[in-house]
């Protein structure tokens, strides 16, 4: 089931006949390899090893993984629900920081629970329908985020982004990159600067790649160049995605985002966070409560083929950081633009029932 809309970048997650297909993001940009997955264990592994990554994309992959896990379950309803619960816990454990993962899995679980008492075949079908709905909805959500961000941009503007919050990280369009695709549709020429994003290089391998595929003007910089580029007045806005927004507006995103926010403040550059409502976690009071994933040392000392540090060196490799809400100019969701005070306005936003 490839999407029937035209998107300006490769599609990273889709269902084909009876299985899940993922564009292997570990291999980009050099090789275009598709993984064909038939079991929840394969999906779990793809999430852990970053074959699929980006908060919305891992949520989508996980719910298809959930379907793969329960589609052959037969027998009593209790057996179905206990297997569903086990699979939700298992797939949620793949990565801790992006709340979209557990949000998506629990949304499917809640939906299927509303069908209690119906035959197991109906319950299995309900898992499939909700997984598909989450996937299709994400495309509309991302486009809406782009529409709400577009008024902050203008032709010729310089934008800095970090990591990859693009089409590859979502159902389509991305969150932070969505307005860039919409600006392109309008014929604007934005000058995008992509941070390389050490240690796994999502900025250079993925953001630069997908923007170039779409014919968007992108310039790659190393992470430690951001301050100098801002000082040279090449940047008029920073736009990033997020893995989780706490109730007070603190924002978890790829490691290095916090430094960028501080730099943006020092240079009086607006710092925008593109966040689908599925990334907003009102149950977590502040950024201090957001679990930060630590990844293997190899990503830093020998990530890309060659050793880059003395053998045995101690390494600290947090994959995400938290930007305090005070540095965030606005959070842009599918429902619109949220400004401080975030504690109050995030709640108001989530109360909306608007369908996108």
Q: Nearer Cβ to ligand MRU, position 318 or 341? A: 318
The Cα 237–Cα 104 span in angstroms is: 31
Q: Which helix (H) or strand (E) holds 138?
A: helix 120-149
Q: Per this entry, what is the length of the chain? A: 356
Reply yes or no: is the peptide bond before residue 341 cis, omega within 30 of 0. Answer: yes
Q: Nearer Cβ to ligand MRU, position 70 or 137? A: 137
Interface map 5-44 toward ligand MRU (x if CB under 6 A): ----------------------------------------
Q: How many CB atoms lie within 10 A of CB 265?
A: 15
CB 210 → ligand MRU: shortest distance, Å?
A: 12
Rg (CA), the chain: 20
- Of 115-174, which residues contact ligand MRU (CB under 6 A)? 163, 165, 169-170, 174
Interface map 253-272 toward ligand MRU (x if CB under 6 A): xx------------------
| CA angle centred on 192, ends 13 and 25, rounded to 5° | 25
Q: Is 65 in the site for ligand MRU (CB under 6 A)?
A: no
DSSP 3-state assignment of 20? strand
CB 76 → ligand MRU: shortest distance, Å?
A: 38
**46 is known to lie in a ligand binding site:** no
The Cα 61–Cα 230 span in angstroms is: 36
Q: Is 202 in the site for ligand MRU (CB under 6 A)?
A: yes
**295 is known to lie in a ligand binding site:** no
DSSP string, 329-351: SEEEETTEEE-S-HHHHHHHHHH
Give catalytic status of residue 281 as yes or no: no
For the chain, report the end-to-end CA distance as a whole number of angstroms. 21
Query: What totals of helices (H) and strands (E) does the chain contain, helices first?
Result: 12, 14
Interface map 73-102 toward ligand MRU (x if CB under 6 A): -------------------------x----
- Of 285-324, which residues contact ligand MRU (CB under 6 A)? 319
- 8 A C-beta contact, residue 280 and residue 242: no
**53 is known to lie in a ligand binding site:** yes
Q: Which residues bind ligand MRU (CB under 6 A)?
A: 53-56, 98, 163, 165, 169-170, 174-175, 202, 241-243, 253-254, 319
Active site residues: 243
User: Which residue ranges make up the annotated binding site?
Assistant: 53-55, 95, 202, 253-254
């Amino acid at each position: 089931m490839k999407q029937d809309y035209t998107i300006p970048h490769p599609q990273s997650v889709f269902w084909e006949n009876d299985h899940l297909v993922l564009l292997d993001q570990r291999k980009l940009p050099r090789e275009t390899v598709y993984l064909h997955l038939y079991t929840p264990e394969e999906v779990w592994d793809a999430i852990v090893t970053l074959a699929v990554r980006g908060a919305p994309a891992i949520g989508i992959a996980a719910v298809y993984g959930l379907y793969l896990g329960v589609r052959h379950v037969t027998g009593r309803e209790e057996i179905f629900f206990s297997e569903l619960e086990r699979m939700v816990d298992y797939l949620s454990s793949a990565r801790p920081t992006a709340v979209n993962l557990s949000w998506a899995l629990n949304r499917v679980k809640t939906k299927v629970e509303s069908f209690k008492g119906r035959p197991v075949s109906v319950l299995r079908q309900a898992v499939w329908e909700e997984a598909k709905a989450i996937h299709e909805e994400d495309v509309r959500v991302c486009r809406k985020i782009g529409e709400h961000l577009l008024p902050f941009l203008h032709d010729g503007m310089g934008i800095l982004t970090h990591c990859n919050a693009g089409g590859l990280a979502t159902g389509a369009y991305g969150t932070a990159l969505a307005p860039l695709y919409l600006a392109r549709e309008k014929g604007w020429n934005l000058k995008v600067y992509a941070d390389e994003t050490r240690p796994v290089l999502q900025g250079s391998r993925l953001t630069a790649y997908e923007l170039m595929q779409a014919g968007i003007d992108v310039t790659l910089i190393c992470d430690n160049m951001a301050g100098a580029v801002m000082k040279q007045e090449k940047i008029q806005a920073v736009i990033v995605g997020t893995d989780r927004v706490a109730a007070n507006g603190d924002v978890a995103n790829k490691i290095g985002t916090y430094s960028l926010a501080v730099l943006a403040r020092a240079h009086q550059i607006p710092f925008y966070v593109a966040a689908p409502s599925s990334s907003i976690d009102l149950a977590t009071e502040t950024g201090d409560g957001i679990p930060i994933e630590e990844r293997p040392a190899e990503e830093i000392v020998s990530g890309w083929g060659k050793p880059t540090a003395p053998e045995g060196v101690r390494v600290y490799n947090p994959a995400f950081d938290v930007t305090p809400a005070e540095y965030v100019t606005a959070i842009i969701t599918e429902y619109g633009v949220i400004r401080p005070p975030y504690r109050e306005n995030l709640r108001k936003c989530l109360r909306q029932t608007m369908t996108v």
